Structure formats: structure tokens, C-alpha cells
Amino acid sequence: MSDILAGLVTQAERQTERRRALRPASELSVLAAAAPPPRDFATALKEPGLGVIAEMKPRSPSKGPLTDDYRPTELARAYQRGGASAISVLTHEDGFGGSPDHLVVARAAVEVPVLRKDFIVDEYQILEARALGADAVLLLVAALAPERLAELLRYIRRFGMEALVEVHDAREVDVALAAGATVIGVNHRDLRDFTIDRTLSARLRERVGRRRVMVGESGVRGARDARELERAGVDAVLVGEVLMRAGDPGATIKELIG
């Protein structure tokens, strides 16, 4: 685990402990049981054409604030109008300015699946995600031991949710496959130095396998990059910064879809 990722995971653990003290797992279990049924994240990404997971985040640890007018409800609706296959909501507080509350209002505003994006290392975070209404959560291979990844993936599926399992190289793909991942996100950003390599998706496509959903993450700046990744065989792209900075994010999604 890189120092940057380790720091973000530590922050997420502290945030989780604060929330656990305020709302125990027993209370979340009641809320999770009453939550609307999960929407099918994997199927949404397998629809014909290039899918877009449109990401909502007020800021980035490396880029700072991405908007000075963050309105989760309006943004989620704009993403859906633009044709997003799913919406990713950052709930990490310190590094990204997110909040679990943002997921609640985004999920209520749209009909597409909603992903909780955070640094998940604990079952409490997954239970909390379901109680908030999430349809899927992010798991990072780089942040978890292989057996722990498999445990959390099984726990996620107990609730009928799915995981976007993020990898950075061939070894991590093998770990994700061994754990049973069916939706694999290839992050083109090297978390050690933040460099971008969009050729990574093409190089890992066959290793991931055609039966699984593959998502290209990071470094998608516009339609040209989206087409490049579509030719490389990805089923969907996850796009955040470009949409957060766009004057009309819905129109930008339409351009990405082509």
C-alpha cells in the first residue's frame, strides 16, 4: 500500500469509528433491512455501448476543490439526464469533502444504481452503505489482504449489492479474480506519483476476461479518451473531475457515451 493510500485508509477508519460510536451496527441492521432493494449495478454497466459511472466529489486530495457549488441532488439528476449508467458518490470526508448524507440524497434523486466510493476495510462500512441505500461499494485490492478482500466481497453480496473491485496491475487482477470479483475497475492512476497510463486497460483486458465487467478509471478527459478505452474493450468508464468542472455535466456525459 502506498503512503498516500495508507493515509486515506487511516482517515476512513477514524471516520468510521466516529460514526460507529453514534450509530451502532444493530441500528444500521434495522435500517438496512428497511432500505429499498439494491439496483443491479453489474447489469447496468453491461448495457449496449459504453457505460459511464458518473462520479460526485466536492474535492480531490491532489487537485483541491473541484467546485464551489456542490449540490448532490441536482448533480445526480443532471448525471442521469445525461445518460449515466450509474453514479459514484464519494463519502470520504477528509480527503474528498464527501459525506454519507450525499449518498442518501443522490440515491433518492435517481433511478440508476448508486455506488458508495470510500476506503472500505470494515463490515460496518458495508452495512452502513446498505442502510444509506447504496447499490454497490468500492473495494480496493491495494488496501486489503487477499483473504480479507474475499470476506468483504461475500459480505457485500449478502445484501444483494455488488462491488467495483479496483486494481492497478496484473497481480491485483489475479487477486480480484481469486476473490470472485465480477466487476473490475482498472485505475490508470499510479497512487505513488499520480501519473496516468490509460494503456493499462488494454493491457489487462484479456487477463480480466470477457465474461466480467471491466471499468476504466481515471484520466478520462473527454470523448477521445473514452473512445480509446472503448476500443480497448472496457464496458464502462468512471469519470469524476471532468464532470465536476463541466458547466453542463449532462451534455458532457452524452459526449463521452458518443
* Catalytic positions, written as ranges: 55, 57, 117, 166, 187, 217-218
Rg (the chain; Cα; Å): 17
* Cα–Cα distance, 162 to 207 (Å, whole number): 21
Other CB atoms closer than 10 Å to residue 25's CB: what's the count?
A: 13
Residue-wise DSSP of 23-66:
S-HHHHHHHHHHSPPPP-HHHHHTSSS-EEEEEE-SEETTTEES
C-alpha dihedral (133, 39, 42, 28), degrees to nearest 10: 30
